[in-house]
Homo-oligomer: A and B are copies of this chain.
Amino acid sequence: MNGNFARLVESGITDCGSCPIQRRAVCAYCQSAELLLLEQMKSYKTYRAGEVITWAGDDQLYVATVVTGVASLSQTLEDGRRQMVGLLLPSDFVGRPGRETALFDVEAATEVVLCRFERKPFEKLLAEVPRLGERMLEMALDELDAAREWMLLLGRKTAREKIASLLSILASRESILLEQAPSDGVSFDLRLTREAMADYLGLTLETVSRQINALKRDGVIELTGKRHVKVADFARLLSETGDDSDGGMVI
């Protein structure tokens, strides 16, 4: 992911001023004196891809911010059915102040670096530093909106629409990174296995495989290998999502 910062962490240079995501994280509104308080509390920890960061039900000793990498938030039913309920990207917050035990499984999808705070002291700081609480509220409300958009996909979309939605989100995000408007020919790496996509979309991996190949057969996308997607017809892909043309997805 962001190898530069990972190296900085390893080398011990961990000053908030050089943090790549400070301006978007929970500490975004903090002033230097407040940052200093956080700086004294924080510790970095790195997780390997696939490693479990927390199990649902575990004591929640830490809360944290994702510095680099991608983590997933998921739940399972008694019989093992799994549903991913959130993707945590750099600057996203992990854990819930005020709760003793974790509600969801958190896993590192890629290598992940967390900036961790012990929960109790963090809660104390939250009560004392209004700017921290303000940003926390803002982030919680944004995540709530995103979760609600996803509920529409899970509850009402067909398998083909779900796949088209996921691909169009990934394509849009790729375009944004390249600072272009999304258009035909955008291509990106699918960093998720078919199974992870299935868990995210509320499908089985077989259905994911079939629908991706159906979109390929229909000329909406092109595949190179299993994991590299090129969007042949972006407008067509969007129309396949079933979304209202206005309104638009939250990413």
Contact = CB atoms under 8 A, between A and B. Distances in A.
A243 B56 CA distance: 13
Interface string A132-163: 01101110110111011111101111000000
A76 B154 contact: no
A141 B138 contact: no
Given A130-B133, A151-B154, A156-B82, A247 B56 contact: yes
Given A75-B148, A148-B85, A137 B133 contact: yes
B243 A78 contact: yes
| This chain: copies in complex | 2
A127 interface: yes
Interface residues of A, number: 50
A246 interface: yes
Contacts of A185: none
A77 B164 CA distance: 14
A145 B103 contact: yes
A73 interface: yes
Contacts of A246: 57
A98 interface: yes
A243 to B, nearest CB: 7
A97 B99 CA distance: 24
Nearest to A130: B130
Contacts of A103: 145, 148, 247, 250
Contact of A154 (B202, B244, B245): B202
Interface of A: 56-57, 73, 75-79, 81-83, 85-86, 96-99, 103-104, 127, 130, 133-134, 136-138, 140-141, 143-145, 147-152, 154-157, 201-202, 242-247, 250
23 contacts: A56-B247, A73-B148, A75-B152, A76-B244, A77-B152, A77-B157, A77-B243, A79-B242, A81-B156, A85-B151, A86-B148, A98-B138, A98-B141, A99-B141, A103-B250, A137-B137, A143-B144, A147-B147, A147-B148, A150-B151, A154-B202, A155-B201, A156-B202
Given A78-B242, A96-B141, 9 more contacts: A77-B243, A77-B244, A99-B141, A103-B145, A127-B134, A147-B148, A154-B155, A154-B202, A155-B202
